[in-house]
Chains A and B, each alone.
Chain A
Amino acid sequence: MHEMSIMASILDIVTKTAQGEKAAKVTRIELAIGTRAGVVTDALTFAFEAMSPSTIAAGAELMVIEIPLCYRCPSCGTETTETLDLCLECDRFYEVVRGRELQITSIEIE
């Protein structure tokens, strides 16, 4: 249940950004969260509902875009969501390229 501390970090970044832009309020927060980033979206939404009312982001819409796990062959660049361990063309191990993101993509302010 580290989603509370993740949300505290999000609200900290959002508040500092909004204040720097001299915004009156934040209306939307967009996140990109990898499905294998160790974070549960529902728990994050719950943490937002619990923690945001006392902040500049009170009443904002939280939009979470989930990024599925994706592997890529470092040699030929072929991407796959299910690894077969080795790229059959290149005999190289697949590497994870997406799915572990923890990012604030954008915010909307007024």
Chain B
Amino acid sequence: MCDSCGCHPEDSNEARQINLGQNILSLNNEIADHTRQHLQEDGIFCLNIISAPGSGKTSLLERLGRDYGHKLTMAVIVGDQQTDNDQKRLKEAGLNAVQINTGAACHLDARMVHKAMHDLDLSATKLLIIENIGNMVCPTAYDLGEDLRIAVVSTPEGEDKPAKYPDLILSSDVLLINKIDLLPYLTFNIDECCAQARKLKPGLKIFQVSASTGEGMAEFWQWLSERCQTKKG
């Protein structure tokens, strides 16, 4: 027995339980909090947009850039496995944009976003939009330092998309139902889609929009720009 505290060093190979209660993604979340603090100091509002591939995330951002870019300075961090196609499209729409290529990864994490943020000149920026990798599951686990998380579902995907992918709806603050211009050609039941989403997330804010025609975008923009105004540097 040890003289000073009475422990039994000869028994140190006995099993001991260590209670941790630690978030698995605590390192990611610390970096996300750092990003959030940085953006708070600069008065920049931040969105994290998540959807399946092809729901129209980039088209929605092009629409925001073309129609509202003169009202509020926006920047975009866009993630894809490969290519800088989206960055080119966003720049053509007048947006300050930087591309992240994840290679094999199916989501953006806080470290990638923090690094990309420092590759952008954010001096005049009021709204930073992170366009996540097209994936409705994996990105939902990663806090990127955003103020709001926006889920996008498009009408050709079917009205049961929220029910099929509940993790995204549960972790989002807003749902955009995109491609409503295609409703006359589809059997998509928009009321059912909204009901399923709100069954998962009561009180969820939902906007019905079309990135290609601009329908519904004014209402979304008004709501978003009011949220941006609440953030002062």
Q: Which residues of A contact B (CB under 8 A)?
A: 1-2, 5-6, 9-10, 12-13, 17, 21, 23-24, 27-28, 31, 36-39, 69, 71, 83, 85-86, 93-96, 99-100, 102-110
Contact = CB atoms under 8 A, between A and B. Distances in A.
B105 A37 contact: no
Given A38-B141, A106-B19, A10 B13 contact: no
Given A37-B141, A38-B137, A102-B141, A110 B13 contact: yes
A13 B22 contact: yes
Contact of B26 (A5, A13, A36): A13
A1 B170 CA distance: 19
Interface residues of B, number: 34
Contacts of B26: 13
Given A2-B106, A27-B15, A36-B167, A103 B23 contact: yes
A102 B15 contact: no
Contacts, number: 98
B18 A17 contact: yes
A106 B141 contact: no
B13 A24 contact: yes
B16 A108 contact: yes
Given A13-B26, A102-B23, A109-B18, 18 more contacts: A2-B137, A2-B141, A5-B105, A9-B24, A9-B27, A13-B22, A21-B16, A36-B170, A37-B141, A38-B141, A39-B141, A83-B202, A93-B202, A94-B202, A96-B201, A106-B18, A106-B19, A108-B18
Given A85-B199, A93-B202, A102 B25 contact: yes
A11 to B, nearest CB: 10
A93 B205 CA distance: 12
B138 interface: yes
Contacts of A94: 202
Contacts of B25: 6, 9, 102
Interface in B162-221: 166-167, 170-171, 198-203
A110 B12 CA distance: 7
A109 B19 CA distance: 11
